[in-house]
Amino acid sequence: MLKEIVSKLKAGSSNLDIRDLQIDFAKMHPEQILKLTISVLDEAPLCRAFELSILGLMPISDWDLLAAYAIKKFQVSEVAQEIVSFAALQKPDSLHPYLETFILTGNEAWTIPTLAWRGSGSLDKDRLLRLMEPGDGTTFLDRAFAFGLLLETRDQQVILDAIAKAAAVELFAEQGTAPLQLHLNGVGLEFADGSFRKLHSDEVLHIAFPEDYFPEEESAFGTRDKTYQPTWQLQDRSLIRADAIIGGLVEERCKICSNQLHRLLEFTDRAVLPEFYRDCPSTFVTCLTCQGKTGIWEFFFAHSQTGAIEHMYEGEPIVPELLESAFVPSEVQLVDTGPRWAIQDHSLSNSWENLHRVGGSPSWVQDCEYLKCPRCLQTMKFAAQIDSGLPMEDGSEWMWGDSGACYLFFCGDCSVTGVTYQCY
Ligand SMILES: [Zn+2]
Ligand SMILES: [Zn+2]
């Protein structure tokens, strides 16, 4: 089967059968995914139909060998570039020995898997600090890119060095501190009064739905069983960390349309969640009828001690053209899928992976965008994200705009939650 797949890819096959064949092979022989992928890199480095998602099933320890192999072909093969990008998401340290081989200036910088620097500490620090200096042929973008990579390490001392360097070489002299904060937000941090604040928890908990929650997909072009993905395979009971409720309506009403608000996610026992959520309100709501469609994208809600929710909207009421149904209500489980899935890229995940998650780094569809608390004006903390594709009570399927995702935030100091969404 392995030989058959490689020869079909080599011959340029790109129909759905060849993708299914790769998925079947990966499901049956996860221990041979490494061998298959290396054969593809050797014999069909220019093929267009390698099914990248199968690498999510590969034993995590195989990434070191595969990354070493893909790095060698990085300049000549798009498949190799995709594999390296996936390695940067799944096991960044598999790329740490090769950080210095990446060319960081000019057009080539566009192909760089920036997440590969995550957790690399000061391994590549000296080179990057040097690149931040003004020099012949070095553009502002090159210098800012090097700064961004130092931040990607998420190492607080390295980041402090980068900030000090940026000040010394006046990197952002013309733009003020805004680009610096934006870069920092991109790695889930904020820097104020000499110390760092984390904007998201490190651990990711995937939302596990009951088996029959999603209606069976019709087998049309492009829709196939995606449940082989590890982020959907969440039956291991020892990994369940908490229970939650998704969907349905809550008692409180939207101040724009006066209809009952929609429940996005409710933590049934917040005490069992990581410390990060200590002062997080239990319930996240929005109005699916009004959010976005009224031209207001960011909704905020104040939560009282007793759990009552108040929509923080002070404008005039609006009569909606179309009343939206609610997500099918259900109990769900929050499952610890481990550091391998701490960061998922919304577009790379290619609708295969489960992007309904609590914590970890947000999978932004567009640029990083943490909401500001309307009461204290602090940057809010990220709590969870709800992807498109949830079933509605009226039988339809929910889309955040065009296949987007919704992001839930909280300010613990003010007991305020915020909701926004991004789409393609
Ligand atoms: Zn409304
Ligand atoms: Zn606040």
Domain boundary among 198, 224, 258: 198
pLDDT of residue 137: 84
Helices (H), 211-252: none
Give residue 329 CA to ligand 1 midpoint distance, Å: 19
Judge if 57 and 98 occupy the same domain: yes
Please give the chain's pLDDT, 424 residues, in tens: 999 999 999 998 877 788 889 999 999 999 999 999 999 999 999 998 999 999 999 999 999 999 999 999 998 999 999 999 999 999 999 999 999 999 888 887 888 999 999 999 999 999 999 999 998 888 999 999 999 999 999 999 999 999 999 999 999 888 777 888 889 999 999 988 889 999 999 999 999 999 889 887 655 444 456 678 889 988 888 999 999 999 999 999 999 999 999 999 999 988 889 999 999 999 999 999 999 999 999 999 999 999 999 999 999 999 998 999 999 999 999 999 999 999 999 887 767 899 999 999 999 999 999 999 999 999 999 999 999 999 999 999 999 998 899 999 999 999 999 999 999 8
Total domains, the chain = 2
Which ligand sits nearest to residue 319's alpha carbon? Answer: 1
Ligand 2 centre distance from Cα of residue 422 (Å): 22
pLDDT at 194: 84
Q: Quick one: 184 and 217 in the same domain?
A: no
Using DSSP's 3-state secondary structure scheme, residue 3 falls into helix
In the three-class reduction of DSSP (H, G, I as helix; E, B as strand; rest coil), residue 284 is classed as strand
Domain boundary among 198, 221, 254: 198
Helices (H), 153-238: 156-168, 178-186
Q: Ligand 2 centroid vs 244 CA: distance in angstroms?
A: 24
- Cβ atoms within 10 Å, residue 153: 23
**Are 210 and 311 members of one domain?**
yes
Q: Which letter does DSSP use for residue 359 in this model?
A: E
Which ligand has the nearest atom to the CA of 381?
2
**Under a CB-based contact definition with an 8 Å cutoff, are residues 246 and 265 in contact?**
yes
Q: Determine the Cα–Cα distance for residues 297 and 294; give it in Å rounded to an integer.
A: 8
162 plus 233 within the same structural domain: no
Same domain, 153 and 213: no
Q: How far is the CA of 279 from the centre of ligand 2 (A)?
A: 11
145, 179, 198 - which closes a domain: 198
pLDDT tens for 345-356 read 988 776 789 999
Q: Which ligand is nearest to the CA of 281?
A: 2
Ligand nearest to the Cα of 311, by number: 1
- Is 256 in the same domain as 371? yes
Residue 133, domain extent: 2-198
Per the CB < 8 A criterion, the answer to whether 311 and 299 are in contact is yes
Q: How remote is the CA of residue 378 from the centroid of ligand 2, in Å?
A: 6
258 and 179 in a single domain? The answer is no
Check whether residue 311 and residue 364 sit in a common domain: yes
Whether residues 135 and 231 share a domain: the answer is: no
CA distance to 54, 117, 141, 266, 391, per residue, from 397 (Å): 26, 38, 41, 20, 5
Q: Could you tell me the distance, in angstroms and rounded to a whole number, from the CA of residue 302 to the centre of ligand 2?
A: 10
Q: Give residue 301 CA to ligand 2 midpoint distance, Å.
A: 11
Span from the CA of 283 to the centroid of ligand 2 (angstroms): 16
CA of 414 to the centre of ligand 2 (A): 4
Same domain, 157 and 70: yes
Tokens of 138: 């070095």
Are 88 and 209 within one domain? Answer: no
Ligand nearest to the CA of 285: 1
Question: What does the block give as tokens for 109?
Answer: 């910088």
Round to whole Å and give the CA distance between 204 and 202: 7
Same domain as 192, residue 210: no
Bridge partners of 206, per DSSP, are 335, 357
